[in-house]
Amino acid sequence: MDELVEKLKPTVEATIAGLNGKRFKADPIAGAHFSRIVSVMSSAYKRHGFILERAILERLKMNPDFEVWEDKQFQVPSTADHIVDSAIGEPAHIFGSETTYRPGSRTLQVDAIVYNKLTGKLTGYEVKRGAGLHDSGKRRSILRDLLCLQVLLRSYGAQRGLEVSDANAHIIFYYGECSIKKPFSLVREELDEHFGFPVQEAIEAVNEHFRSRLFSILTS
């Protein structure tokens, strides 16, 4: 657990520095002290999402049976969007549908892609805090991107020279508020079993370190 915290310390410290230097406007009712707390905390919620992404990615890299990376420019060709159009109302119908991975008119950021070298399973993940639900428009956008990842993932892996036995896409809603239903969503309590590898305790150690550093600037 300490190893992951040490690895994430530079990310946490950069976040804390940004929060500590944040400018804010004092509210007439709250005053300067409480206005700063509200301003820093609202920004901290947003920036914590990135820390979660990095913590999960780096923890998974510690499993020697996994090959793990992120892809900030995952290509989405129009054929993937066309396939997803027919399944957006019934997402589970997407299983069994696939298309060739190639350059497209838009891209996705995939927070973690995990190839299990023992089983040949390839899985793509988007990571969200999951501390609140998204509105209907955002849910539809998230679902569309997830289903596009699903239909492209096997071909993507093959083009990287991987022998892919199975391919799946998931969203990790870490704190449990799932804007997308199962089987596409995961929460923190399910991560250890899902990966067959201890994940949650290490992530919570990073969260506790971030919380401690955050509170230190709020009380200074």
Q: In what order do the strands lie in the sheet with 121-128?
A: 66-76, 106-116, 121-128, 166-173, 185-186
Q: Please give the Cα distance from 156 to 164 (Å, whole number).
A: 10
Whether the predicted pLDDT of 76 surpasses 70: yes
| Mean pLDDT across the chain | 94
Burial label for 161, CB within 10 Å (0-12, 13-18, 19+), is exposed
Tens-digit pLDDT profile for residues 146-200: 999 999 999 999 999 999 999 999 999 999 999 998 999 999 999 999 999 999 9
Range of weakest confidence among 28-37, 53-62, 199-208:
28-37
Q: Please give the Cα distance from 216 to 142 (Å, whole number).
A: 35
- pLDDT score of 27: 83
- For the segment 51-72, the average pLDDT, to the nearest whole number, is 98
- pLDDT score of 124: 98
- pLDDT score of 1: 62
Nearest to 111 by CA among 102, 123, 97: 123
Whether the predicted pLDDT of 218 surpasses 70: yes
- pLDDT score of 141: 93
- pLDDT score of 148: 97
The count of other CB atoms within 10 Å of the CB of residue 178 is 18
pTM passes above 0.75? yes
- pLDDT score of 21: 85
Q: Please give the Cα distance from 58 to 75 (Å, whole number).
A: 23
Q: Please give the Cα distance from 140 to 198 (Å, whole number).
A: 32
Whole-angstrom CA distances from 48 to 83, 101, 163 are 34, 32, 35
Listed in sequence order, the residues at least 6 apart from 161 whose beta carbon sits closer than 8 Å to its beta carbon are none
- pLDDT score of 219: 84
- For the segment 11-26, the average pLDDT, to the nearest whole number, is 90
